Structure formats: C-alpha cells, structure tokens
C-alpha cells in the first residue's frame, strides 16, 4: 500500500511540477489578461459595472456598448470614452450658436482601431473646418463591431440628443451582418472574474477555448439562414418591382461566378435580399429621425482596401448601397475613386487588414467629405 501511495505521489509531482513551472513563467511574463480586464471593475459576481470598458446594453437592438468615462488599451490603441460613451472629446448637448454640428456613424473603421483619435476622418474633417467662417463640430459615434442598424440605434439612444444638422454614415462592406466577435465576447466576459482564473494557466486554456468557440459562433452567425431568423423583425421586404432586386440578384450571380477567396466574404452579403432589407430598415429608421428632428443625412462607403482585380464586384456593392441611401432620401458621397487613385495597398493599416484605412486613408476620406460638404452647403 505504501509503495502504491509513493508511486501516486511521484506521478502527481511529475505532473504538477511542469504545470507549476509554466504557471511561474506566465506570471514572470506578466500574463494576466483576465485580471487586467476585470481589475477594479467588478462588484457582484457576474455583474458588469458602468466603469467597465465594454458592457451589456438594455437596448433591444444593441448587444453591447462602450461605458462612459472609460479608459483602457484595446484594439491596439489607447481608448478613452467621454461622458456619453463614445470615443471623442466632451461636447455640450446644446449646440453653440453659429456652429454647424455633424454626427459621424460607423463601425471600427470610423471608431479607429489601431489609430489615435486625431488621425481619424471625423477629427480631420472638424479640424479642416471647410465651411469658411462657420465653426464645425464632428462627433465620432463609431463603435467597433456595430452593423448599420446598431449604428442607427446607438445614434437614436445617444447621438440624437446633440441635435446635429447633418449625420454622416460611414457604411462598411461588413455592416450588413455580424462581422465582429465583440458581441460574443461581451457575453463571456462576466465569467472571467471567477477566483479560479487567478491561475494564469487556466486563463491561457480558457482564452484558447473561447477563441475556438467564438470562431464557431461567428461562422454560425454569418449564415444567411441564421441571419434571417435573428433579424426577422428588422428586415424591410423589397417589393417585387423594386429595381434594387435586379441589382442584388445580378450581384449574387456575379459573385458566385467569380469564386472569390475568403477575404471577400463580406461583400457577398450585398447579394442577399434580406441583408439589404435590413439595411433599408436601418436607413428608414434614420430617415424618420431626420424628419422628426430636422437633420440631413449623407452616406459614403468605406473603401475595401483589398479589392484589386475585383473592382467591378465592389463597385456593384457600392451601387446597391447608393441606391439604398437615395431610396431613403439621403445624399451619397463617392469616396472609393479617390482612395483607389491613391493606391489601396498603401492605405491599409497593415498588410493583412483590408478593412481599416491608415492615417493617410482617413485623410483622403476627410478631404472628399470636406469638398462635398463645402459644395453641398453652398447650394
């Protein structure tokens, strides 16, 4: 019996010692993602407090939102939010006399992952002040991972109270669906505060398992069947004689015939009547708010910077977006020609990131919008 006990002890030690070494190594390396994430941010188990950077939303459309007055490092950038939970300086609710006020809506490309706020197109447009002696304010309400309807819902919840004269929607290719893992992440983060996760090795294992699980969930959410089921309330059916149907169906056929690789998976969504129907619902909701509150709306498409050789397919997607904008009574500002002329390869934030423009790309967008704004207000 003693010999068996000794053998079991030796076996346990032979297992525990390597694990202890790995744990020590992770601690020496400063590996503590869950601790850094949750330190000082939790009160009751499972409850995310307002000082969390990300928190669950009680809005029926929004799954998550940014917390007000938060400061952290996320998405490879130093992030600070203002008192209203968006990444910009503080603005008074009441617009100052003589000021033209614009609200910018968008996703991660407008929010500015991997970039400082001063190089983003809303900040650059505000700094250029293309209206002569008229002061200009541009509030950046871009939120990472939001689709078009979430952007509108966030504007209705937060941005509308700032009484803008103009809303500019930066529509991204992936805004017709759920392209960000953030919605899955926010539903998991409340479990990371368990005392067990003080063990760095368990953090490492859990983070790897969650990455695999989130990837599977992303694939599930990307399917058209799941999209229709989860968004049925927010899809405007297109009439049989609507010319947009011919554009969508032709796009779907051309996309299928092209046999494009995975990095073009988001543009495929413009070949779905239901996804375009949700975009129409979002634009109709924004148009209603504009009629109620007296602001105009303009839309532009954030250029996909990996479109080389497939420009015709992307242009067809932008045409569908333009038609939806004009159907809602919005202005459409073409940006892609200027960005292509500058060279899309040179505008990527890094070589493998086709969706996020670098500082020069944001400058081009701001310049195009400034020229359009100057001409628009001169009419």
Query: pLDDT, tens digit, for every residue of 167-183?
Result: 999 999 999 987 666 66
pLDDT of residue 50: 37
Query: What is the number of other CB atoms lying within 10 angstroms of the CB of residue 133?
Result: 6
Q: What is the pTM for the complete model shown? A: 0.85
**Closest of 214, 205, 182 to residue 34, by C-alpha:** 205
Is residue 258 predicted with pLDDT exceeding 70? Answer: yes
Whole-number percent of the chain with pLDDT over 70: 80
CATH of domain 97-179+223-378: 3.40.50.1110
Beta bridge partners, 211, equal none
List b or e across 23-53, with b for residues whose CB sees 16 or more CB atoms inside 10 angstroms: beebeeeebbebeebbeebbeeeeebeeebb
pLDDT of residue 136: 93
Residue recorded with tokens 């759920």: 178
Question: 39: pLDDT confidence band, cut at 50, 70 and 90?
Answer: very low
Task: Give the Cα separation of 288 and 280 in Å (integer).
Answer: 12
Segment 136-142 mean pLDDT: 97
Whole-number percent of the chain with pLDDT over 90: 61
Task: Provide the token pair at 366.
Answer: 């701001």
* Tens of pLDDT, residues 74-100: 788 889 999 999 999 999 999 999 999
């Amino acid at each position: 019996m003693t010999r068996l006990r000794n053998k079991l002890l030796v076996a346990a030690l032979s297992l525990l010692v390597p694990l202890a070494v790995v744990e020590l190594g992770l601690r020496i390396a400063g590996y503590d993602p869950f601790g850094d994430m949750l330190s000082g941010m939790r009160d009751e188990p499972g409850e995310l407090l307002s000082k969390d950077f990300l928190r669950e939303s009680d809005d029926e459309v929004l799954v998550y939102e940014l917390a007000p007055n938060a400061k952290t490092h996320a998405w490879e950038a130093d992030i600070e939010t203002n008192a209203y939970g968006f990444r910009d300086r503080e603005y008074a609710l009441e617009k100052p006399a003589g000021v033209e006020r614009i609200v910018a809506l968008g996703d991660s490309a407008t929010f500015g992952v991997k970039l400082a706020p001063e190089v983003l197109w809303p900040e650059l447009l505000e700094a250029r002040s293309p209206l002569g002696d008229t002061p200009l304010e541009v509030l950046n309400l871009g939120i990472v991972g939001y689709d078009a309807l979430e952007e509108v819902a966030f504007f209705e919840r937060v941005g509308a109270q700032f009484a803008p004269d103009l809303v500019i929607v930066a529509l991204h290719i992936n805004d017709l669906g759920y392209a960000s893992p953030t919605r899955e992440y926010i539903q998991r983060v409340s479990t990371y505060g368990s005392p067990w996760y003080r063990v760095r090795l368990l953090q490492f294992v859990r983070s790897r398992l969650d990455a695999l699980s989130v990837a599977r969930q992303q694939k599930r959410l990307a399917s058209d069947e799941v999209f229709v089921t989860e968004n049925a309330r927010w899809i405007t059916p297109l009439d049989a004689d609507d010319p947009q149907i011919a554009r969508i169906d032709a796009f779907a056929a051309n996309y299928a015939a092209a046999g494009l690789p995975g990095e073009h998976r988001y543009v495929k969504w413009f070949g779905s009547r239901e996804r375009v129907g949700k975009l129409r619902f979002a634009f109709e909701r924004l148009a209603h708010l504009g009629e109620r509150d007296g602001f105009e709306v303009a839309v532009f498409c954030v250029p996909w910077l990996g479109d080389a050789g497939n420009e015709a397919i992307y242009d067809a997607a932008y045409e569908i977006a333009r038609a939806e904008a004009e159907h809602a009574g919005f202005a459409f500002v073409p940006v892609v020609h200027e960005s292509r002329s500058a060279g899309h390869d040179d505008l990527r934030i890094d070589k493998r990131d086709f969706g996020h423009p670098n500082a020069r790309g944001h400058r081009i967008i701001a310049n195009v919008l400034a020229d359009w704004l100057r001409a628009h207000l001169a009419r």
